[in-house]
Amino acid sequence: MRNILSLLIVIFLLFQSCDNESKLEKDIAKIDVNVQVERFDKLFAESSPNDLPKLKSAYPFMFSKQYADSIWIARMNDTLQQQMFSEIEKKYADMTEINQEIAGLFQHLKYFNPTFKTPRVITLINDVEYRSKIIVTDSIALIAIDNYLGSDHEFYGSIQMYLRANFEASQIVSDLATEYAKKQIYQSSRKSLIDEMVYLGKILYYKDIMIPFKTDEEKIGYTKEQLSWALENESNIWEFFVERELLFETDPKLAGRFINPGPFTKFNLELDAESPGRLGQYIGWQIVRAYMENNDSDFKDMLQMDATELFNKSKFKPRK
């Protein structure tokens, strides 16, 4: 009888939690934000040299003063640029879904920070410089849209698959959320493996809060199969870190094995080829989730917490 009562209490609390989350999301959905992605890439591609002064007047921050107008005119006439724009236009003739997802992100940002001001969102072409896909400031969000044509696009043939796997439209708002997270997360130290794991776990938890309409796979940039592998092997991954006493190690090579993008995670075991990369990020995510579940902590306070303190208070236990 006692077990049945305990089960009923758990079920009641779960339903209450879902109701609270549903009410929160309804309140957030009422927040007024005006998002209309500005297609600078399209304006530039469809402009003639005679239009350049007007374009520079409307978008002065897009034109570095160190380059003469002749450079921009040559870019307008470049056949590769024209081909790239043609491919972008095929993919993004309709930006409705992207607009809606970005608006959803901005509604959440404004709810949790009422001083947040909706920035201008501007697309551009940056010649597939994928290390700078998105740049955000207080007033502008730049999206290099040529980095989101689909992982199998011919433009990406020379880029390793584990990198271009996330060159998808579904990743735009996730990458945008990452850049906003970086501006709001502070950690005094990022020397040990646990420091890096928690820092990146904070970014992923930030996405839990700011883009709850995206799947976990989209937040971390895994396929369904990769996320399933991580879930199924969570206990073994954690055991590996603990038994080898890696968590507080400061060897910079550990980031390359467990944190940074790669085709797989480098445990130096036979199972490596089966694993997705960045499993240190995944475990960091679960640690931060455990901390928020097991502590009465403010979301913003958590973003500023020391990594070791957060880890010690998380009471993290891996799934078995």
Q: pLDDT tens for the chain, 320 residues: list them.
A: 555 554 444 444 444 545 556 888 999 999 999 899 999 999 999 999 999 999 999 999 999 999 999 999 999 999 999 999 999 999 999 999 999 999 999 999 999 999 999 999 999 999 999 999 999 999 999 999 999 999 999 999 999 999 999 999 999 999 999 999 999 998 877 889 999 999 999 999 999 999 999 999 999 999 999 999 999 999 999 999 999 999 999 999 999 999 999 999 999 998 899 999 999 999 999 999 999 999 999 999 999 999 999 999 999 999 87
184 domain residue, yes or no: no
Residues 58 and 170 in one domain: yes
In this structure, are 198 and 167 located in the same domain? Answer: no
Give the residue numbers spanning the domain of 49.
Answer: 38-176
Q: Quick check: is 238 in a domain?
A: yes
236 shares its domain with 170: no
Q: What is the pLDDT of residue 259?
A: 97
The closest alpha carbon to 291, from 215, 219, 197, 223, belongs to: 197
Q: What is the pLDDT of residue 270?
A: 86
Look up the pTM and report it: 0.91
Residues 199 and 298 in one domain: yes
Whether 187 maps to a domain, the answer reads no
Total domains, the chain:
2
pLDDT given at position 248 = 96
Strand stretches in the chain, DSSP E: 38-39, 120-124, 134-136, 140-144
198 and 163 belong to one structural domain: no
Do 209 and 156 reside in the same domain of the chain? no
Q: What is the pLDDT of residue 133?
A: 97
Q: Which of 214, 178, 217 is nearest to 199 (CA)?
A: 178
Helix or strand or coil: residue 1?
coil
| 159 in the same domain as 206 | no
DSSP 8-state code for residue 118: P
The whole-angstrom separation of Cα 41 and Cα 125 is 6
Of the candidates 34, 148, 40, the residue with the CA atom closest to the CA atom of residue 100: 34
pLDDT of residue 149: 97
Assigned domain for 21 exists = no
Helices 96-112 and 2-29: angle between axes, nearest 10 degrees: 110
Q: Write down the pLDDT at residue 13.
A: 44
Final residue before a domain boundary, out of 176, 205, 230: 176
For residues 142 and 121, give the distance between their C-alpha atoms in angstroms, rounded to a whole number.
Answer: 6
For residue 19, the model assigns a pLDDT of: 57
pLDDT of 20 reads 58
